[in-house]
Structure 1
Amino acid sequence: MDQDTSAAVSQRAPGSPLAGRTAIVTGGSRGIGGAIVRRLAADGAAVVFNYSTNEAPAKEVVAEVAAAGGTAWAVQAELGSLDQIEGLFTAADQHFAEIGADGLDILVNSAGTFVRTPFGETSEAAYDEMMAINAKAPFFTMQHAVRRLRDGGRIINLSTVTTRWPRVHESAYIASKAALEQFSWVATRELGGRGITVNVVSPGPTDSGAGGMLQSATTDAIRAEVANQTPLNRLGLPTDIAAVVAFLAGPDGGWVNGQNIRADGGLVW
């Protein structure tokens, strides 16, 4: 164990709800995924997360977690490749072994991609990309996780409120997330005998800043309109979603299973 890792482990508060737990988070370098990594690490988990191509924000997350006394590692992996998904889990095995952890406790599928196009103009490439990242990748990360999860583990998959609140120009995106929801319900039944819970968190419109999915796909006017439709009169923040994930991953979430929690400030009834 290197000196930096040892220091991070020693600074964990003994009363942290996830102390001694391990977690893998996909898409953990920015936005909602980055907030989830920071929150799980703050709660005591040792976290491995992947980034796709841009290493700089991933390194920032690792540094922020370490500065706060937590433990996180970034692994480059393209989730559209099954070989790289396997590589992500192999790297996680190695990192967890370095700190004396045996096995996996939490999987969070946060990675996603979004292309907003009219139904009749969606290209095959855009369709394939959304299905590959939003449906196929989490199916196989769950498969790898099942082989490693300790009894009593947690799987948390991020979907979207638009599976219940369909929006124009989002057909392929909604379909890919609906598939993920169905994978989750089946996994709930298959894994319940081991005490493993499987839940879905469906964020509403969430402002993850410049370059985030919402800002990239919408205008200021659209975001203001949606915020006004929410009873709380604001958009969500990545930390709002991370708090729900942390609850499901923690000891107080153990009796919540097979649910789709819409974290949207009351936007969708």
Structure 2
Amino acid sequence: MSDTDLRDIEALDARKSDGIAVVTGASRGIGAAIASRLGADGYTVAVHYRQDSAAAADVVEKITAAGGAAFSFAADLAEPDTGTAFWASYDAAAGALRDVPVRVLVNNAGIVVDGVIEETSTEDFNRLLQVNATAPYLIIKEALPRLADGGRVVNVSSGATRVPMAGIAGYTMSKGALEALTGPLAQHLGPRGITVNAIRPGTTDTDMNAGWLRGNSEAVANIVGLRALRRMGGPADVGDVVALLASHDARWITGQIIDATGGERL
């Protein structure tokens, strides 16, 4: 690639309004925060969800009410044909925007199955790998022709890959696979000026964790006590880091796994 090509890519990289940011699992929690922040940053945001259309519509409404642009689309990442089905659903929802380059792809969607290895069924384990590892791989693969040169791929992993927890071994393994994809993909897409990074959030105050976290002062105190920054993180704390990795300012960062746990167990 010539110096001229690189300059052209950097110029494209700075023009957010010319591209779309696709965020998987964006109807709530961290995904919704990522979508909202990218919408505020000037991207047209494609809000992916599995089944909660009302929640996804709410995210779209909040983005548009703030002066941004967004649309939503549904796809079940547990299905074997995730890659093609995901983008077919995207195209149907995007309409005339289907030909606009995807400048940012955030693989955020994931599921958790609690239980040590003896308690995790083969069915649950296979579903974990499908949703958390196989689906992102296939979504990225099918996205390559539509992903803009100078674009961004951000994979949302988990702090559990750094701090072992026996009760979520299958989940940790699935997120570890997503991290393992990040480096080789960054190397492969580097000639196109595309950066690929991963982020490791810690336990976050989201609706998914509400059942055991909110109102449980002991659990909150235990988590906060392990963190250098001494507080519970919220979705926006993670969304802002993803936005940084998606930005022009992070154009020289690729193949990295960024810890965003507030300094857990330092």
| Same fold, judged at TM 0.5 (above) | yes
Distance (Å, rounded) in 2 between the aligned partners of 1:182 and 1:140: 15
User: 2:8 aligns to what?
Assistant: none
Picking from 191, 194, 205, the partner of 1:193 is 191
Distance (Å, rounded) in 1 between the aligned partners of 2:42 and 2:255: 25
Picking from 210, 227, 238, the partner of 1:215 is 210
User: 1:19 aligns to what?
Assistant: 17
- 1:241 to 2:238 alignment: yes
TM-score by length of 1: 0.87
Distance (Å, rounded) in 1 between the aligned partners of 2:124 and 2:65: 39
Rate the CA distance shift 1:253–1:96 in 2: closer, same or farther, 3 A. farther
User: 2:181 aligns to what?
Assistant: 183
Distance (Å, rounded) in 1 between the aligned partners of 2:33 and 2:188: 29
Aligned partners of 1:115 and 1:217 also within 8 Å: no
CA RMSD of aligned residues (A): 1.9
Structure with the higher fraction of residues in helix conformation: 2
User: 1:144 aligns to what?
Assistant: 142
Between 156-165 and 17-26, report the one with greater CA deviation. Answer: 17-26
Q: CA deviation at 1:121?
A: 1.2
Distance (Å, rounded) in 1 between the aligned partners of 2:200 and 2:242: 10
Q: Aligned runs of 1:95-134 on 2, under 5 Å?
A: 98-99=96-97, 102-134=100-132
User: 1:232 aligns to what?
Assistant: 229
Distance (Å, rounded) in 2 between the aligned partners of 1:259 and 1:233: 25
Aligned partners of 2:23 and 2:108 also within 8 Å: yes
Amino acid at match of 1:226: I
Partner secondary structure for residue 259 of structure 2: strand
Unaligned runs of 5+ in 2: 1-13
Aligned partners of 1:22 and 1:96 also within 8 Å: no
TM-score by length of 2: 0.88
User: 1:73 aligns to what?
Assistant: 71
Rate the CA distance shift 1:70–1:194 in 2: closer, same or farther, 3 A. same
How many residues are paired up? 251
Q: CA deviation at 1:86?
A: 2.2
Unaligned runs of 5+ in 1: 1-15
